[in-house]
Structures are given as C-alpha cells and as structure tokens.
C-alpha cells in the first residue's frame, strides 16, 4: 500500500453472507495481528434476518455511518481508516469513497465487476473517482470478472491499484481464506 498503515479497517460481507463470513474473520485475525483494529459490520437486511439486500442508498448510508462511527471510536480522522469487504460489501465501500467518503484505502475481495455471463453490465462508473490505494484480491476463475476484464477496468482508477490473483479461485474463494488474509495483511502492513 502506498501510505501509512491505517488506523483501522472496516469490512463488510457479500450479499449472501454476514459479518462472520470465514474470509472476513481470517482477514480480521491477520490484520489485528499487525496491531490494526478491525470492525466487521453487517448491512441492515442481514440484521433484520432478510436474504435480499437493501437498496443501494441504504447500503451506502450504512457504510458511511459505520465508517464515521469506527473512525470516531478509534479517535481518528476518517482518512486514516481503510474500508472494504467481499463482493457487494467491497463494491458499496468503493462507491461510498468515490462519492466523497474519506478513507485511507480500499480492500476489495472478489470485486463483482459484472453479473455472471453479463460482461456488458459493468459496475465501474465510479472507478475514475477512486483516488485512494486499492487492493483487489480475486480468483482466476471468478465468473463475476476475468483477470483481463478486471485489470482493464481498474486502469480507470487514478489511485494506486494492486491485484492479487488466487489461482483456481472462484468468486466465493472457498478454501482460500488464509491466502486472502495474508494478501490483505501484507498489503496493509507495507504502509
């Protein structure tokens, strides 16, 4: 990462999981081991026991609220806190930062570049507004975006971009928790 080690990390899960998703727990353990506090948060629909995600404005408002609350709890400026998560959680964090939410960096695990088999429906309109360092950790068999597609799309991000590719990993990155956690901890620890 280019910049100081963050004061904290805030993580959100993908659409089908909660804050205790195994990769997020592994990242939490690894990053906490660096001395960086981590908060894993859920979106309102998960807290209410619903399966369908909230609408984007609710998801965005949740990220903004949680980021400000976490920064306050850490006694830090929001620009010293890294944000991110898996799939939808990371995407919503990136949209919040593109919309003006201060952050030290973005950690994007299995970024959902497009719906499976729909490469024409890119989720990248906000990329040109991402000026913070961004880490993308993705599997080489992710149906939500190939390596070539993601690398081409992230070229539009003005901030520094790092890609970590996990060989054979699909979108869920099952059995890759240690590799995901190691990649995030190494990147954040570089400062």
**Average of per-residue pLDDT values in the chain:** 95
**Count of positions (residues) in the chain:** 191
Examine residue 97 and state whether it is found in any structural domain, yes or no: yes
Q: What is the CATH number of the domain that holds 138?
A: 3.40.50.1820
Contacts of 51 (CB under 8 A, 6+ apart): 16, 45
Question: What pLDDT shows up at residue 19?
Answer: 96
Examine residue 160 and state whether it is found in any structural domain, yes or no: yes
Question: What pLDDT shows up at residue 1?
Answer: 77
Examine residue 2 and state whether it is found in any structural domain, yes or no: no
Residue span of the structural domain in which 112 resides: 8-190
CA separation for the pair 12, 10 (Å, rounded): 7
Examine residue 153 and state whether it is found in any structural domain, yes or no: yes
Flag whether pLDDT at 191 surpasses 80: no
Q: What is the mean pLDDT of residues 11-26?
A: 95
pLDDT bin (cut points 50, 70, 90) of residue 20 is: very high
Q: What is the mean pLDDT of residues 13-25?
A: 95
Burial 28-57 (b: 16+ CB within 10 A, else e): bebbeebebbbbbbbbebbeeeeeebbeee
Flag whether pLDDT at 3 surpasses 80: no
**How many domains, in total, are found in the chain?**
1
Examine residue 126 and state whether it is found in any structural domain, yes or no: yes
Examine residue 1 and state whether it is found in any structural domain, yes or no: no
- What are the strands of the beta sheet with 38-40, ordered from one edge? 38-40, 8-12, 81-86, 105-109, 134-139, 161-166
């Amino acid at each position: 990462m280019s910049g100081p080690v963050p004061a904290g990390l805030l993580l959100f899960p993908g659409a089908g999981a909660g804050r205790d998703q195994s990769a997020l727990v592994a990242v939490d353990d690894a990053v906490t081991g660096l001395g960086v506090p981590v908060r894993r948060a859920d979106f309102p629909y998960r807290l209410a026991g619903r399966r369908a995600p909230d609408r984007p404005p609710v998801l965005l408002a949740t990220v903004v609220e949680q980021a400000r609350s976490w920064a306050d709890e850490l006694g830090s400026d929001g620009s010293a806190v890294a944000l991110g998560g898996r799939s939808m959680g990371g995407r919503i964090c990136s949209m919040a930062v593109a919309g003006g939410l201060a952050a030290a960096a973005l950690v994007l695990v299995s970024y959902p570049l497009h719906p499976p088999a729909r490469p024409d429906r890119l989720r990248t309109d906000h990329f040109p507004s991402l000026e913070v360092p961004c880490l993308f950790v993705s599997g080489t068999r992710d149906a939500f975006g190939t390596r070539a597609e993601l690398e081409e799309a992230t070229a539009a991000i003005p901030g520094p971009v790092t890609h970590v590719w996990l060989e054979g990993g699909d979108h869920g990155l099952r059995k890759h928790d240690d590799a995901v956690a190691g990649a995030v901890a190494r990147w954040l620890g570089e400062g």
